Amino acid sequence: MTLRRTPPWSPSKSAELYGIRRWGRGHFDIDAQGDVVVKADIDGNSVAVSLPDIIDGLKQRGHAMPLLLRIENLLDERIALINETFRTAIGQANYGGEYRGVFPVKVNQQRQVVEEIVQFGQRYGLGLEAGSKAELVLALSLLPENGQLVLNGYKDREFIDLGLWATKLGYRCFFVIESPAELPLLLQRSAELNIIPQLGVRVKISARVGGLWTETSGDRSSFGLSTPQLITVIDQLKQQQKLSWLRMLHCHFGSQLPDLEQIKTAIQEAACIYAGLVSEGAPMDHIDFGGGLAVDYTGAQTNHVHSRNYTLDDYCTTLVTTLKGTFDPLGVAHPHIVTESGRATVAHTSLLLFNILNVMPFEPQPQPTASEDPPPELLAEPQQDTTRSEADAADIYQRSLSSRDKIRQDFRDGRVSLRQRAQGEDLFLHVAGSLAAQLTDQSQESTTLAALRRQLAHIYYGNFSVFQSLPDSWAIDQLFPIMPIHRHCHPPEHDAIISDLTCDCDGKLDRFILGNGESDTLPVHPLKEGEEYLIGVFLMGAYQETMGDLHNLLGDTHVASIRINSDGSFDLVKEISGDCIAEVLSYVEYRPEALLDRIRQRAELGVRNGQLTIGERQQFLDQFTRTFRGYTYFRT
Ligand SMILES: Cc1ncc(COP(=O)(O)O)c(C=O)c1O
């Protein structure tokens, strides 16, 4: 159903239009004033704080847009939710093992985030997963001394040695063997340092699990041991009398797994492999399913790649009961369950906020009195007819498109003047606009209306960079919920796509999640003189922060972490200034001081050549230094 976007309007109509109650899952909503609110659960009470109020507070503290906002309470809640749901599923199934999760550092390595995860996760014994030496170093610096560490990825001697020393220091490290080549080096270093490691083996699961990362599962996945390789590793361990070191089976079916049935099939296969290792004589007691617990970005609860057709309850219950159902008939003791849920832990906890700088409207200009004859191909504007069928509207639309294209061709051939062409283009926008208004008033969303919306979509220019802040939207067409964060007592009158600050045609957002499905355009309000129009990109705490790049040298945005209090106030608990221009230049090997020196010399030369007075030289240098030390984004 298309919502009529005309007054009377209400925040609940907006909530329905943007689907915020579906993807927001109780964390985000719209209040009676028409502001988007973030909701925190504090001692069993839901406390809502308006995002515009948060932004006002941050502005008073000197912060500018764009800004990445982290909400500590949500991180705390997500960690508790995942752990408690597993505990409940384990209790209900009378399962013998515990849930022992780890956070995969690759999903968000930022110090503030990992510190908070370790702090909030301590009551659940939440550990960390490291897939590289750098991640291991940061994990060791943040985890308590008996913390659980899962070491994935290819490991060289330094990685292995560091993990062995960590084991000796009391960390509960699992070395996950990813390839047969890793084992000899690990055995050798363990003998030389006289430290006994706990081992895991990562296996390939033949069952394919769908989603954006489907290549992570199946025979041709690049990580993990095939079953013949697994047998070779077991035989090597047996020969060296080290099978007693093997305690964990590890597998990872991919990230953002949308379909629970497929997950279940893969778990069954993993459980059978685990049982096989037990019967080989390994003292197994942990099974690690890696990541994959999906986030419902669309809120539609389907098996679409940006959604998931299960709840967290379903996921935890399926893991636990499938393991129990496989192990009990075989008499295999229940292992502790490890998952490496990254996305599901952090996605909800951060959002990007940016202001709209300008609009390129796609609407007809007020008709000037025609100074020339209309172009020969110009069609007359159709009469307003609210009862016109969709098929008739589609026909008129197609004819006016052809007429506009013919006028453009005639212009290129010199038969039509610039003013005549402008008349033709303007009339096309008139026709398209009135057809769109008419179809919007009808109840059915139609393909013609969708095409008209695309044609007529305004371009809203946002103060941000897709490449820096939302790299997955550009690289893998990841969809994030996006919407204005205020003015929801009024109907959004336009449809728009959003272009960023980079001069790149890929630097745009043109797929959106709405309450009635995906859309090529986002409903937006007209800009108001003297008032910022603010857009939020939600659920973007996973993977975006360190994968972003410096396209056009737009750097990291400011980051503010807040904690919501029970009285509806908030504390700014951490703030990080975004990159300044001198910093981004240093990332690409310019030396800021040398650069400033050259500019001073250039200004001095200007004085000598009579291009600048001494006063102008100073003015220029002051301006240069201010810009040089300033934010890389648009400053209003
Ligand atoms: C081995 C491993 N564990 C965990 C994860 C995190 O996955 P997710 O973010 O889906 O939880 C990944 C990411 O792909 C991974 O490769």
Lining ligand 1 with CB less than 6 A are 104, 107, 129, 152, 252, 255-256, 290-293, 340-344, 542
Instruction: Find the helix or strand (DSSP H, E) in which 212 lies.
Output: none
CA of 454 to the centre of ligand 1 (A): 36
Q: What is the pLDDT of residue 352?
A: 98
CA 41 – ligand 1 centroid, Å = 27
Report CA(295)–ligand 1 centroid distance (Å).
13
Q: What pLDDT does 5 receive?
A: 73
Does the structure show a pLDDT above 80 at 127?
Answer: yes
Which atom of ligand 1 is nearest the CA belonging to 250?
Answer: 1
Taking the C-alpha atoms of residue 69 and residue 538, their distance in angstroms, rounded to an integer, is 10
Chain segment 190-243, per-residue pLDDT in tens: 999 999 999 999 999 998 887 776 666 666 666 799 999 999 999 999 999 999
Cβ count near 46 (within 10 Å): 12
**Ligand 1: nearest atom to the Cα of 131:** 1
Q: Looking at ligand 1, which residue's alpha carbon is closest to its atom 8?
A: 291
Min mean pLDDT across 371-385, 450-464, 523-537, 546-560 is at: 371-385
Q: Among 354-368, 379-393, 518-532, name the one with the lowest average pLDDT.
A: 379-393
- Please write the tens of the pLDDT for every residue from 569-625: 999 999 999 999 999 999 999 999 999 999 999 999 999 999 999 999 999 999 999
Give CA–CA dist 391/394, Å, rounded. 5
Q: Is 282 helix (H, G, I), strand (E, B) or coil?
A: coil
CA-CA distance, 60 to 47, in Å (whole number)? 22
Which residue is closest in CA terms to ligand 1's atom 14?
A: 255
Answer whether residue 98 shows pLDDT above 70. Answer: yes
CA of 194 to the centre of ligand 1 (A): 32
Q: 129 C-alpha vs ligand 1 centroid, how far in Å?
A: 9
Res. 436 pLDDT band, cuts 50 70 90 = confident
Q: Which atom of ligand 1 is nearest to the CA of 107?
A: 9
Alpha carbon of 360 to ligand 1 centroid (Å)? 40
Residue 464 is given by DSSP the state: S
pTM of the predicted protein model: 0.93
What are φ and ψ of residue 118, in 5° steps? Answer: -65, -45
Mean pLDDT across the chain, nearest whole number?
A: 92
Which residue has the CA at smallest separation from atom 12 of ligand 1? Answer: 291
In a mutational test of the pocket of ligand 1, which residue from 202, 248, 340 has the highest number of ligand atoms less than 8 Å from its CB?
A: 340
pLDDT band of 368, cuts 50, 70, 90: low
* In the predicted structure, residue 396 carries a pLDDT above the cut 90: no
Task: Give residue 340 CA to ligand 1 midpoint distance, Å.
Answer: 6
Atom of ligand 1 nearest to the CA of 294: 10
What is residue 443's predicted lDDT score, i.e. its pLDDT? 54
Q: Which among 449, 459, 456, 405 is positioned nearest to 429, based on CA atoms?
A: 456
Tens-place pLDDT, residues 443-457: 566 787 778 888 889
- Residues 418-438, mean pLDDT to the nearest whole number: 85
- Is 209:292 a contact under the CB 8 Å cutoff? yes
CA of 508 to the centre of ligand 1 (A): 27
